[in-house]
Amino acid sequence: MTSTRPVLHASGLRKTFGSGAALVRAVDGVDLDVAPGETVGIMGPSGCGKSTLLHLLGGLERPSAGTIELAGQPVSDRSERALARTRARELLGQVGLADRTGFLPSALSGGQRQRVAIARALINRPMIVLADEPTGNLDSSATVEVLRLFEALHESGQTLVIVTHDQRVAATADRLISMRDGAFVDETRMTGGSGGNLAKLIGLGGE
């Protein structure tokens, strides 16, 4: 990692819905720093706030309280302009689908469709990729395809935050955070790094 300054910084992040007795604290006082080139996995039971947190980090929802900064700039200050540049062919090659350029989605496997979705996320060269259950509906073979792609992105220096229920995906992270009731409750530094852990998983047949 070339910089100690976090590419993503969240402080005191909260998201509530409803009021009074019906108040729901979907995200409750989360602090998070993600270093450039780091892969962070976030795990927890359904309804713990993982997806809401990801939506906040990506600017899809506004927090009820707290701040989010991307490369030192508040996320709320960033416009939603759609960039016109297209790098589709280059990115399909990067995710191993150059020979599927003219194919309709229905002609692609589940793993291939997921890699196309990741290519779309990369098209504007983002500083950080946020992934919500990227292997949620994939079989073991397709999951390994996606894990290999995340390994390649990690090795290229791409910063990743991945929400997942899948232990195989979590094992590829540099750092794994557990979430309960809208808050972070535990954090583990993974040994061996993303590539090393993925190699072990593939060595076990991706099971």
Greatest alpha-carbon pair distance for the chain in Å reads: 56
Q: What angle do CA 194, 200, 33 make, to 5 degrees?
A: 20
What is the bridge-based pairing of β-strands 128-132 and 159-163?
parallel
Confidence of residue 165 (pLDDT cuts 50, 70, 90): confident
Mean pLDDT of the chain: 74
CB 164 within 8 A of CB 40: no
Indicate if the pLDDT at residue 174 is higher than 90.
yes
Cα dihedral 98, 101, 103, 109, rounded to 10, equals: 30
Residues belonging to the chain: 207
CATH top-level class of 8-77+124-203: alpha beta
Domain borders along the chain are 8-77+124-203, 86-123
Confidence of residue 193 (pLDDT cuts 50, 70, 90): low
DSSP secondary structure code for residue 18 in this structure:
S
Residues 6+ apart with CB under 8 A from 109: 142
CB 135 within 8 A of CB 114: yes
pLDDT tens per residue, range 26-75: 999 999 999 999 999 999 998 999 989 988 888 888 999 999 998 888 87
Indicate if the pLDDT at residue 24 is higher than 80.
yes
Q: What is the pLDDT of residue 144?
A: 80
